[in-house]
Every structure is written in structure tokens, then in C-alpha cells.
Structure 1
Amino acid sequence: MQFYLATSFIFPRSLRLRLFAVCFVATHLPLLCYIGWGAATGRLALAEVVTLTLATVAGTGLALYGIGALLTPIHALADTLNAQPGDSAPLPRVGDVIQNLYAGVQRAAVLTRAQIDDLAVAAHEDPLTGVANRRGFLAGIEALPAGQRKGCVALIDIDFFKQVNDLMGHDEGDRVLAAFADRLASQVRRADLVARWGGEEFAIFFCNSVEEEASWALARIAEQVRREPIGRVNGRIISFSAGLSRWSGGPVEEALAAADGALYDAKQAGRDRVCRAGASLSATCP
């Protein structure tokens, strides 16, 4: 490619003429050396020079024809790569064969990169709610710089969610999940991370927050859910229970396990409340 670009000033609109120029110079080097030697020694024979010149010109033409034939499959590949889906014919060429091929390879690389990015997003995003899934949550935690690897983690469970599915159908259950995820995402800071942990469980990472701040944020969300319900089942407002634990930068799994224990205590205490895990991993509920 570097040689191709370096010789682009020679017949820039015609690859065949450029190939002819390169082949002509390359094949005539021996002849030029012979002419120089003959002129220096006085042994130059005009008939021999003319014969050799005609022979090298013919050889150059033959080489050019062979190269053109060898490039024909590349030409066809360039047309294929330049064709858009649904086109009845390939796009007009914007340059010579190599330019078309290079442009086609670049286009294929861009499409492949876009497909890889789409797969990466799909692997880390919950398709129903649009927030991160468990894998995306943990990947987001792992990607944090050292200065932000602390705060609080919360595990949240929608109360009596099974009744929503059983009594109102799975479509309503999906709507409740999506609405709840949207409510959580809209009520936390941009630095925080919301994820669907699985089923009706969600997780939140409160970046650089102490337990009092994170607990207050969850209580504020709970109060808003009571004032502006995302739905009702059996006449009861759909609420949530939450377990909260601080995280000081060690293995996040330990903080998640503590939050899960606090969530269990919140359910046992009657649901619709937030419990915090203490230093001994036993939960304290307000």
C-alpha cells in the first residue's frame, strides 16, 4: 500500500498505465546499463540496442497484460464489496481497482466493528428494561478507576411481584418491570449504576456514597413510588424492599452478599422498607 500511494503521481487515474510505467522502467534497467557500458567503452552497436529495446517493450506489454488478467478477480471482488444490499447493480467505481478494494475492505471492517459493538451492548444490557443486566453491572464495577471503587451497593426486590404475573398476566408484569427500572434510573445520579439483577430483583451502585446518603436516596424513591405508584395488585400499591451495604473497594461480591442478607431481613420485617447491613453483616432496619 505504501508503494501504491508513493507512485500515485504517475498516471493517478489509470492503474494500467501506472503498471506499464513501472514495468517499463524495471525491465529497461538492464538495457540502460548496457547502453551506458557501450557508450563508455565505445562498443555500442545500434542494431543491438534497437533489437533489445523492441524486445523489452514487447516483454513489458506482455507483463502488463498478464498482470491485468491476474487483477480481474480483484476487480470483481471490489465491485461486490461496493454493492449495497438491495442494489440491482454495483456502485460506479470511484477509482482504480486497488482503491475500490481498499474502500471495500474498510467498509467491511466498519460493519464488522458495528456488529461487534452491538453484540457487546446486547451482552451487557437487559432487553426488557434497557438498564444493565448482571453482567453489565459487574463489568461496570470492574471498569471503575481506583478512586471510584467505593460507595454502597443495594439489592432491591419488587414486593409480591408473583401476584402481578399470576393475577394480571405477564404483559403487565413486563410493564411493571420496565416502569420500575425507569423509575430507579431517573432517581439516581449519573455516576450511579442501575441494573436488573434477575427476575424482579434490581441492583444499584451508589458511587462514593456513605450509607446514610444511599439509604436516604432509597427512602426517597420508596416514598415517590407510594405517591406515584407504578401499579397496583389486589388494591395494594406495588412497593419494594431493599438491602443496603457499604463497599470499600474490596471484592464487590462480599458487599453484594451483605446487601442480599439485608434484603432478606427487609422481607422478613414486613417488606416495603430498606435495611442496612451492619459490620457483622447482620441487617439493621429503621
Structure 2
Amino acid sequence: MQFYLATSFIFPRSLRLRLFTLCFIATHLPLLGYLAWGLATGRIALPEFVLLTLATVVGTGIALFGIGALLNPIHALAEALHDGKDAGPALPVVGDVIQTLYAGVQRARDRIDDLHQAAHEDPLTGIANRRGFLAELDALPADRRRGCVAIIDIDYFKRVNDLMGHEEGDRVLAAFATRLSALVRRVDLVARWGGEEFAIFFQDCIEDEASWSLARIASRMRTHPIGDIHGRPISFSAGICRWNGGELEDAFARADEALYDAKQSGRDRICRAPSLLQEV
């Protein structure tokens, strides 16, 4: 549009005449160059030159007619929009290609979003899976990559599937994920680690704070159980490890060892991984 306005004093205001002028000059530059050379050297074949010029003028006119036919729907749509009238059939004619391209791009974008969600979200519980959890941790800025990681295991979950069926087992998993997500802070990350195991990242927390948070959830599981086995509320065991932005694998390995200690100690309890200073 800026070029159109800036060149108004050179080219005609009419869009059709502008197109004709541009097409005529562009197609006749070689002929004009040949005319200049022929006049300078006296070796021009004037009849053939005139005939070729007329032929190119006719070709330019035909091209302009075709361009005008293509522009007619746009003019009709512009006039209709300017007058506030219904554009009628002009809009589909003009917009078909754009709408098709946009729909294709939107479908591709939706498909990419679906694939990303499937890769990073657990379909049963609706929370992040292990891959999504690790991706979220990796995306955190350096000053927020510190706190505590915990691995949580539902106690005697196999009995739920064996005694009450897999549908009840799926319900328990989904309810447990909802319970965890509802009782941690918004800055904390919750994920299904795999099977009946879950993971939590307590951001900017020391072991005491993370342990207290899990103890509060455990108490809630006893007073408002998500299910029971042989009349006893379903509980969980957990292992906690401090993480200061180092190797995640090491932190999770230490949290897993603490979880093993919790199970060996009778389950329904929370154990902390010993600090490296204590081990030394």
C-alpha cells in the first residue's frame, strides 16, 4: 500500500491501468532495447519490429483481462464491505484458498498439540507423565531448580487390582493423582512416575517442609480415604531427597532408596534420603 500511494504521481490511479502499465513496460523492455540498438546501428527491421510490438500489446491486453477477472471478486468484496452489505458469494470465491490453507495449518497445529499432550501427559490421571515431568523440570530457570523431589508409592496397590479389579485400580490411581494435585502448592510439580508410583517436585523447599506436606496428605488419606483394602484406608509410602540443581538422576535414585526404606519399615510412612555430608 505504501508503494501504491508513493507512486501515484507516476502510474495511473486505476489498479487495472497500473497493472497494464507494469505489464506493458516489463514485456516491452527487450523490444525497446532492440529498438535503441537498431536505431543506433541502422540495422533494425522495422516491419518485423512493428508486428512483434503489436503482438506483445495484444498479449499484454489478454494478460490484463485475465488479471482483471481474478480481481473482480476482490473488488466486489471490497465494495460490499465498504457499503456494509452482505458479501454474498464473493467471500467464498476470494477466501477459499486462504480458508483451506488456514484450516490445514490449524489441523496440523492441533495435531502437533495432541501429539505433544500424548507424549507428556498421563491419559488416565490427566497429570504429567515421567517425560512431561522431566521436561517441566528441565524448562525451569536455574534459580528455581532447587528444592526436594519425592517418589510416592501407593501401598499394596496390587491387592486393589487383584481383589476389586482393574477398573477400581484405575479409579484409585486417578483419585490419588487428584488428591496430590489438590494438596500441594501451585508451584509444585506432580506427575505419575509409572504404575502406582508418583513424583513431586517441591520447589524451594527443605526436607522438613516437603515431609510436612506429605504427612498432611497422608493424614488426609486416613480421614478421607480414596478407597480401602480389607477395611483399611489406602495409604502411601514416600521417599524424599534434597535437590539443588545437580544431576536429577542422582536425586531420584536417592529418593527411590528412601522409598525402599519406607516400605521395608512397614509402609504408610515417609523417609528422607540421608544427606551427602552424613554419608561422608
- TM bucket (normalised to shorter chain) is 0.7 to 0.9
Question: Which whole-Å CA distance do the structure 1 matches of 2:152 and 2:278 have between them?
Answer: 17
Cα 1:10–1:199 change in 2 (3 A) is: farther
Question: Which whole-Å CA distance do the structure 1 matches of 2:161 and 2:254 have between them?
Answer: 29
Question: Which whole-Å CA distance do the structure 2 matches of 1:23 and 1:181 have between them?
Answer: 68
Question: Which whole-Å CA distance do the structure 1 matches of 2:206 and 2:220 have between them?
Answer: 22
Question: Which whole-Å CA distance do the structure 2 matches of 1:123 and 1:164 have between them?
Answer: 27
Give runs of aligned pairs for residues 225-244 of structure 1, distance below 5 A: 225-244=221-240
Q: 1:22 offset after TM fit, Å?
A: 3.8
> What residue number does 1:120 align with?
116
Over the matched positions of the two proteins, sequence identity in percent amounts to: 66
Cα 1:10–1:275 change in 2 (3 A) is: farther
> Can you give the 5+ residue segments of structure 1 that lack an aligned partner in the other structure?
41-45, 72-90
Q: Report how many residues are paired.
A: 249
Q: Which structure has more helix as a fraction of its residues?
A: 2
Give runs of aligned pairs for residues 181-220 of structure 1, distance below 5 A: 181-220=177-216
1:60 aligns to 2:56 (yes or no): no
Q: Is the 8 A contact 1:242 1:274 kept in 2?
A: yes
Question: Which whole-Å CA distance do the structure 1 matches of 2:20 and 2:152 have between them?
Answer: 73
Q: What secondary structure is seen at the aligned counterpart in 2 of 1:190?
A: coil
Q: 1:25 offset after TM fit, Å?
A: 2.8
1:221 aligns to 2:217 (yes or no): yes
Cα 1:10–1:215 change in 2 (3 A) is: farther
> What residue number does 2:161 align with?
165
Q: 1:138 offset after TM fit, Å?
A: 1.0
Segments of 4+ in structure 1 off by > 6 A?
Answer: 9-12, 33-40, 46-50, 64-68
Cα 1:146–1:222 change in 2 (3 A) is: same
Cα 1:220–1:251 change in 2 (3 A) is: same
> What residue number does 1:27 align with?
27
Cα RMSD (Å): 3.9
Question: Which whole-Å CA distance do the structure 2 matches of 1:106 and 1:161 have between them?
Answer: 48
Question: Which whole-Å CA distance do the structure 2 matches of 1:260 and 1:281 have between them?
Answer: 19
1:133 aligns to 2:113 (yes or no): no
Question: Which whole-Å CA distance do the structure 2 matches of 1:184 and 1:38 have between them?
Answer: 89
Q: 1:50 offset after TM fit, Å?
A: 6.5
Letter in 2 for 1:178: A
Q: What secondary structure is seen at the aligned counterpart in 2 of 1:94?
A: helix
| Cα shift readout 1:15-34 (whole Å, capped 9, x = no counterpart) | xx986554323223355668
Q: 1:129 offset after TM fit, Å?
A: 0.2
In the superposition, the TM-score normalised over structure 2's length comes to: 0.75
Cα 1:142–1:171 change in 2 (3 A) is: same
Q: 1:124 offset after TM fit, Å?
A: 0.5
Question: Which whole-Å CA distance do the structure 2 matches of 1:282 and 1:242 have between them?
Answer: 20
Q: What secondary structure is seen at the aligned counterpart in 2 of 1:131?
A: coil
Letter in 1 for 2:92: P
Letter in 2 for 1:224: R
Q: 1:51 offset after TM fit, Å?
A: 4.7
1:267 aligns to 2:263 (yes or no): yes
Letter in 2 for 1:121: Q
Q: 1:141 offset after TM fit, Å?
A: 1.2
Letter in 2 for 1:171: E
Q: Is the 8 A contact 1:258 1:281 kept in 2?
A: no
| Cα shift readout 1:255-282 (whole Å, capped 9, x = no counterpart) | 1111111111111111111111112599
Letter in 2 for 1:119: L
In the superposition, the TM-score normalised over structure 1's length comes to: 0.74
Question: Which whole-Å CA distance do the structure 1 matches of 2:33 and 2:26 have between them?
Answer: 12
